[in-house]
Amino acid sequence: MAKRFANKTLWSDLSFEIPSAAMTVVRGPSGSGKTTLLNCVGLLEPFDRGTVAFGGWSFTAGSRSASRRCFRDVLGFLFQNYGLVESWNVRRNLQVPLRIRPGSRNGGRHAMAEALERVGMRGSEKEMIYTLSGGEQQRIALARLMLKSPSVVLADEPTSALDKANADLVMSILAEEARHGALVLISTHSDEIAARCDHALTLDARPSNEERGTPGPQRTEPPTTVRRSDAEVDGRAPWTASIASTVRDQGN
């Protein structure tokens, strides 16, 4: 995959595979492209070259955006802005995945009540989303994810605004989704969250040593796959960004 913004190349030859039935963490310094990567994998953001494929689905750069069926049946998101409709109540927000998957194992009012119970929001069906705190909204988004039970879950810093108890809840529900067979891809800055994942994908962007004459950050362990891309930022002093990707087994 290649991805470029107007004056910045994030990567020009990034390639990786992510296993299903497991949690994979995307790590990297601020600005290295974690959110952009999740958006590209989730087909929310166009990319310039390459292909994103999961299961029987394959999407090539330049083709028109994902089919509605793929969004409906395959992809699930847990993003920082929660993706809830603020002017609706909790029930109406949670009915969206239930309508999408009638008769699914999670279908029905009972499943909604169970999901709300699981995230500690029992009896909140009539609450308007805009009246809930950020953490509560995140938990409703989590309940919605459980009801949808997608085969690809993309979670962008899903715990960054949460206290420890709620962060634990998010991680245990994402782990459940993985146990049920989902591919779960999580971006985070947290070592603790990363340690709970099965695999890691590391994005590394740094100034060029040659251009600046100063050493860049050293990698602590060699990646199994390295892809490099030349980058110019704002047309100013040229520098080189290296995007390294590695999917490694963390042994847990």
Considering only the stretches 29-37, 95-103, 129-137, 224-232, report the one whose residues sit in contact with ligand ATP under the rule CB under 6 A: 29-37
Sign of CA dihedral 219, 38, 12, 241: negative
Q: Pick between residue 31 and residue 217 the one whose CB is nearest to ligand ATP.
A: 31
List residues bridging with 196 in a β-sheet. none
Nearer to ligand ATP, 8 or 91 (CB): 8
Residue tagged 């989730």 (tokens):
42
The residue among 3 and 196 lying less far from ligand ATP, judged by its C-beta, is 3
Compare residues 149 and 202 and give the one whose CB is closer to ligand ATP.
202
Q: Which is nearer to ligand ATP, 31 or 123 (CB)?
A: 31
Q: Interface with ligand ATP by CB under 6 A: which range of 33-41, 49-57, 166-174, 194-202?
A: 33-41
Interface residue with ligand ATP among 9, 20, 35, 95 (CB under 6 A) is 35
Interface residue with ligand ATP among 15, 17, 31, 130 (CB under 6 A) is 31
Query: Between 28 and 158, whose beta carbon lies closer to ligand ATP?
Result: 28
Instruction: Say whether residue 199 binds ligand ATP (CB under 6 A).
Output: no
- CA–CA distance, 178 with 35 (Å, rounded to integer): 20
Least distance to ligand ATP from the beta carbon of 34, Å? Answer: 4
- Return all residues near 138 (Cβ < 8 A) that are at least 6 apart: 82, 158, 161, 162, 166, 170
Q: Which residues pair with 243 in a beta bridge?
A: 227
What tokens appear for 11 in the block?
A: 């990567």
Q: Which of 24, 32, 202, 246 binds ligand ATP (CB under 6 A)?
A: 32
Residue 42 Cβ vs ligand ATP, minimum distance, rounded to whole Å: 12
Minimum Å gap between C-beta 103 and ligand ATP is 38
Q: How far is the CB of 30 from ligand ATP (least distance, A)?
A: 3
Nearer CB in complex with ligand ATP: 5/130: 5
Amino acid at 121: M
28 near ligand ATP, judged by CB under 6 A: yes
For residue 33, state whether it binds ligand ATP (rule: CB under 6 A): yes
CA angle 249, 149, 99 (to 5 degrees): 160
User: What angle, rounded to 10 degrees, do the helices at 109-118 and 90-100 form?
Assistant: 120
CA–centroid distance for 30 within its chain: 15
Burial of 215 (0-12, 13-18, 19+ CB in 10 A): exposed
- Residues ≥6 apart with Cβ < 8 Å to 67: none
- Residue 12 sits in the site that holds ligand ATP (CB under 6 A): no
As given in the structure block, the two tokens for residue 157 are 């810093």
Q: Given the rule CB under 6 A, which residues bind ligand ATP?
A: 5, 8, 10, 28, 30-36
